Structure 1
Amino acid sequence: MNLPEEITDLIELGAIFYCSHSGGKDSQVMYTRLRQVIPEKQLVVIHANLGEVEWPGVIDHIRRYVIHPFHIVKANKTFLGMVEARGMWPSAAYRQCTSDLKRGPIFKYIRNDLKERGATVAVNCIGLRAVESVARAKREPFRYNTQESVNGRVIRHVWDWLPIFDLSTAEVFQEIREAGEEPFWAYADGNERLSCVFCIMGSVNDLRHGAICNPDLYRRYVELEKQIGHTMFMKGKVPISLEDHVGIKIS
């Protein structure tokens, strides 16, 4: 892996690299790359636990291959509880699930860990790739995070880095195999992405697979749609129920 000069400088500066690991293929290949180039004492793996709405076995899968300090963080709210309280599902434009359940707890951990270490420089490593979407292709692979950085009574400098930004999907799976590892089992059954079992960004195939493998959880999503009177998806400008979108009716 060829490191950007900025990353080499941050390694020499003693920056702590925080690898956000969802258990998905992109997180997995990102970690295999990072552990080759980041000094052992400067690499930490963090998983934002989504509780009942994430794929069962994800945490065990991460632990199977991670050899660095591994920390699990969790928000003080749940996804389904958040939806019920708001009366609406997240959308692509308003992804409260990401901000409140993932990004918030991860950055809280980073802030606390830096303080305990007496360190002031962090690199937040995220497994996003340009080919995933037009919006992600416009992201900067390396940028200074002004929101998480402070330079006053408290000194903290945080950078966001996308170490696998230029990889194709085929290259991701190839590098996982070359590392002697296996991706999470759901990919073998056709999943394209691994986040929440029923992610608003997931394909119909992923959602259908999730419903087949997790029927009780699927039922809770369907019933919550009916309870709050708001659907996860739209067909054009018309709301469509999860059952109709996925094509699986609950009895």
Structure 2
Amino acid sequence: MKTSILILGGITEAYTLAETLAARADLRVVNSLAGRTSNPRLPVGETRIGGFGGVAGLTAYLREQSIHAVIDATHPFASRMGWNAFAGCCATAVPLLRLERPGWTAVPGDCWEPVSDWEQAVATLRAGGSRRVLLAVGRQELAPFVGLDDIWFLIRAVTPPDPMPPLSAFHLLLSRGPFDLESERALLADQMIDTIVCKNSGGEATTAKLVAARERGIRVIMHERPQRPALPAAATVEDAVRWLDEALVRARAG
């Protein structure tokens, strides 16, 4: 009988992990996607789309599907799913790993202003006199910026917001990373951007905007990551596979 592994997807590394594990004859790989984007890229292996129904729903799923291990590879800002996974795995004694790429850190020359929530980001925008802002926060995080009528926003998203919040002045740019440095330099210059608002997602796909901002002396309002449960963590797919093999050995020995 194959050993069932649940991957809670959301980051690029989740697809690589699914492909790596699905190639193994001893594993059944189940991927879970939140379903927040239309026509999502499907990973290798079984895929389910949509929520579990909170902690109780996830706990029931783990038991019904005889899941032997869970790897949480959700987006760094999908904190609710992270806490639900922690509670569900604790309730079922299923090993849980957090696969998360390291966050970005400021280097000399960066003009970063860290914030812990969007209300603080809005207050920082008001206080700093921003006029032309690249808003790279995702289509579901736009509402807090309504009312900043003296700011023009360049909103970059993968899919259109539905509904579109009533911002007074904006341009919607539909685009999916990765973004190279030359295109980011051109974007910031052509649109006369003076401020970037973004999440500390980490990774290489969207880091070029931070390099371009550093070069131009553009300030970055950086939403830091929310708190996550204290649990084993891996920064790479290779480390996650190593943890999984060790967890399965312990489970079989016990």
Same fold (TM over 0.5): no
Where on the TM-score scale, by shorter chain, does this alignment land: which range?
0.3 to 0.5
TM-score by length of 1: 0.32
TM-score by length of 2: 0.32
More helix by share: 1
